[in-house]
């Protein structure tokens, strides 16, 4: 695999790291595309410069500062948020779903964060050091000492969002691993090593254009995530309504008479049964390697399911099956009690529970009720498990078959919309990664896309970057 260097002042030679098939990997200048120059970072557009972060600090264009060390913290909201490595996602975004709080520093303390500060994870496990995000929130926040603050002092020279994405792009490529100092169970990049990192610096107009494109895709992804969250909440509300009143429109006044039951209010004509009354219940066992393939091929056409939630538990394929279609699998290990209707012949392994109907029943209806309303009680064992005898005792509602099917149809329609939005989100994630690579390497020149100035022109309000004294 070809290599490229990341120049640091601590090592006057380029540190060799894998380029992950980067377009910057060019053997010699004869291979350079038109309009490109060879740099210590590899081939880059002729209009781009290569600068050290420390050079930007020396020219007073950038401030780099360590975080605020504080050992005492709480998670109940006393004090101010203290951002830590887990607050930066692997996508290079800020995540405030988990916050630790500390006593606030003084009002004039230099460690307070400001909007558009770039935050860099300087200490973590080796593979996570270097995650970078833009701080784009209002309010009072400080950084832990496992984080480094980079503040743009001259926004007419460097775009903060672009810088955050450039530094996180280096993390995508694994470039920081070669710069880490390794400690017990963690690694770190010091301020001096960070300042020694060289970055490509396009003209401000192109930085802003790159930022605009990436932000547009990121906002589309976030909007899609909002739609997914709303659809999931809609499904929860629908399930509460459907399993209480039956398949009647929300707000309808002509629903069936109700009755109280062991599992809550239900239409009066619905039965309540134990799973063991209407299903034969089995537990998955082992399967011979001779009967197994990791992929679907030839005679290996029957899916093998395990207790894993990833990829709906798919483990591989077998050349024979143990259970019929129109069954339900329920996880008996790990994340207990997750039910999935299975619509094809299959095998089950590692004590995965299998429910095979004794009579005609809508398995989607039953699986949704198990997932939404049954709380699994752990068996008395050192290893949490759900057993055949235990699941057989759980009660479920049993309406007439046509109502089961109508409820399943309604919920399936919501599931289909969620799946479509998840596919859209996955496509946007791949688009973002593709654009990030192409834009940060200069393969795609975005001023021509977004209608900005030509890439060789400076932004009208930008001063020329002072020449390096190196």
Q: How confident is the model at residue 24 (pLDDT cuts 50, 70, 90)?
A: very low
Q: Determine what percent of the chain is predicted with pLDDT higher than 70.
A: 87
Q: What angle do CA 124, 170, 59 make, to 5 degrees?
A: 100
Q: Number of helices and strands (H, E) in the chain? A: 9, 28
84 and 131 together in one domain: yes
Q: How many domains does the chain have?
A: 3
Q: Which two tokens stand for residue 310?
A: 């990833």
Instruction: Judge whether residue 66 has pLDDT over 80.
Output: yes
Residue 465 CB neighbour total at 10 angstroms: 19
Decide which of 353, 377, 398 is a domain's last residue. 398
* Assigned domain for 58 exists: yes
Please enumerate in sequence order all residues whose Cβ is within 8 A of that of 91, keeping only pairs 6 or more positions apart, or say none: 429, 432
Cα 15 → chain centroid: 30
The verdict on residue 467 lying in a domain is: no
Which of 252-256, 289-293, 345-349, 422-426 shows the lowest per-residue confidence on average (mean pLDDT)? 252-256
Residue 186: which H helix or E strand, with range? strand 186-188
Within a domain: 227: yes
- Same domain? For 430 and 317 the reply is no
| In a shared domain, residues 290 and 209 | no
Confidence at residue 36, expressed as pLDDT on a 0 to 100 scale: 93
Q: Is the pLDDT score of 457 beyond 60?
A: no
pLDDT of 349 above 60: yes
Which stretch of 91-95, 101-105, 168-172, 461-465 has the lowest confidence by average pLDDT? 461-465
Res. 15: pLDDT tops 80: no
Mean pLDDT of 254-268: 90
Residue with tokens 């390096």: 468
Q: How far is residue 61's CA from residue 81's CA, in Å, rounded to a whole number?
A: 27
Report helix, strand and coil shares of the chain as percent, to nearest 5.
30, 25, 40
What residue has token string 């780099």?
A: 64
Residues 181 and 50 in one domain: yes
| pLDDT of 4 | 46
pLDDT at 53 over 70: yes
How confident is the model over 365-375, as a mean pLDDT?
96
- Among residues 181, 201, 221, the one where a domain terminates is 201
Whether 36 is covered by a domain: the verdict is no
For tokens 């006393």, name the residue.
Answer: 78
In this structure, the number of other CB atoms found within 10 A of the CB of residue 86 comes to 16
d(CA 302, CA 320): 6
DSSP state for residue 139 in the 8-state scheme:
S
Do 417 and 430 belong to one domain? yes
- Asked if residue 437 and residue 387 are part of one domain, the reply reads no
Confidence of residue 122 (pLDDT cuts 50, 70, 90): very high
> Does 291 lie in the same domain as 384?
yes
- Look up the CATH number of the domain holding residue 246: 1.10.287.1120
Q: Are residues 311 and 368 in the same domain?
A: yes
**291: domain range?**
271-398
Per-residue pLDDT at 214? 96
Is 69 in the same domain as 125?
A: yes
Q: Both 256 and 332 in a single domain? A: no
Reported as a pLDDT band with limits 50, 70 and 90, residue 448 is low
Average confidence score pLDDT of the chain = 88
Residue with tokens 């996570």: 128
For residues 287 and 430, state if they share a domain.
no
pLDDT the model gives residue 6: 52
Query: Over 70: is that where the pLDDT of 20 sits?
Result: no
Tell me, what's the pLDDT at 287? 87
Mean pLDDT of 351-375: 97
Q: Clarify whether residues 334 and 383 are in a common domain.
A: yes
Interhelix angle 204-245/401-440, rounded to 10 degrees, is: 170
Confidence category of residue 380, pLDDT binned at 50, 70, 90: low
| pLDDT above 70 (res 458) | no
17 falls within a domain: no
- Rg of the chain, C-alpha, whole Å: 29
From 156, 180, 201, give the residue that closes a domain: 201
Q: Are 93 and 87 in contact (CB under 8 A)?
A: no
Least confident residue range of 26-35, 296-305, 344-353, 375-384: 26-35
Asked if the structure places residue 25 within a domain, the reply is no
Q: What is the pLDDT of residue 290?
A: 85
Residue 12: inside a domain, yes or no? no
- Is 32 domain-assigned? no
Q: Are strands 353-357 and 279-283 parallel, antiparallel or unpaired?
A: antiparallel
Average pLDDT in the 278-305 region?
A: 94
Give the domain CATH number at 152.
Answer: 3.90.220.20
């Amino acid at each position: 695999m070809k290599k490229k260097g990341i120049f640091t002042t601590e090592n006057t030679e380029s540190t060799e790291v894998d380029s992950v098939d980067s377009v910057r990997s060019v053997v010699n200048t004869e291979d350079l595309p038109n309009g490109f120059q060879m740099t210590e970072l590899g081939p880059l557009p002729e209009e781009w410069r290569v600068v050290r972060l420390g050079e930007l600090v020396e020219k007073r264009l950038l401030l780099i500062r360590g975080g605020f060390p504080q050992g005492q913290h709480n998670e109940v909201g006393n004090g101010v948020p203290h951002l830590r490595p887990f607050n930066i996602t692997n996508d290079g975004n800020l995540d405030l779903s988990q916050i630790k709080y500390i006593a606030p520093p003084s009002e004039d303390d230099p460690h307070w964060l400001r909007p558009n500060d770039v935050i860099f994870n300087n200490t973590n496990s080796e593979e996570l050091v270097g995650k970078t995000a833009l701080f784009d929130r209002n309010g009072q926040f400080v950084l832990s000492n496992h984080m480094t603050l980079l503040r743009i002092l001259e926004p007419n020279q460097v775009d903060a969002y672009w810088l955050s994405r450039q530094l996180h792009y280096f993390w995508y490529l694994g470039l920081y691993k070669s710069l880490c100092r390794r400690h017990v169970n963690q690694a770190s990049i010091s301020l001096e090593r960070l300042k020694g990192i060289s970055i490509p610096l396009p003209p401000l107009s192109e930085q802003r254009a790159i930022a605009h494109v990436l932000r547009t895709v990121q906002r589309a992804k976030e909007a899609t995530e909002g739609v997914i969250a709303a659809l999931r909440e809609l499904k929860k509300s629908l399930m509460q309504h459907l399993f209480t009143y039956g398949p009647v429109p929300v707000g309808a006044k002509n629903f069936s008479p109700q009755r109280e039951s062991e599992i809550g209010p239900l239409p009066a004509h619905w039965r309540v049964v134990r799973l063991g009354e209407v299903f034969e219940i089995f537990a998955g066992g082992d399967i011979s390697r001779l009967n197994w393939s990791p992929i679907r091929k030839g005679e290996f056409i029957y899916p093998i399911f395990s207790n894993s939630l990833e990829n709906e538990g798919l483990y591989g394929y077998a050349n024979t099956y143990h259970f019929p279609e129109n069954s339900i699998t329920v996880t008996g290990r790990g994340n207990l009690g997750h039910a999935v209707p299975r619509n094809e012949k299959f095998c089950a392994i590692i004590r995965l529970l299998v429910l095979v109907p004794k009579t005609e029943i809508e398995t989607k209806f039953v699986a949704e009720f198990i997932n939404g309303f049954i709380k699994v009680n752990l068996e008395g064992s050192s290893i949490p498990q759900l057993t055949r005898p235990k699941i057989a005792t759980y009660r479920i509602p049993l309406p007439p078959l046509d109502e089961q099917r109508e409820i399943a149809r309604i919920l399936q329609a919501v599931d289909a919309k969620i799946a479509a939005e998840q596919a859209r989100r996955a496509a946007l994630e791949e688009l973002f990664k593709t654009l990030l690579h192409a834009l940060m390497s200069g393969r795609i020149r975005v001023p021509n896309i977004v209608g900005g100035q030509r890439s060789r022109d400076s932004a009208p309000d930008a001063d020329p970057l002072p020449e390096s004294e190196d």
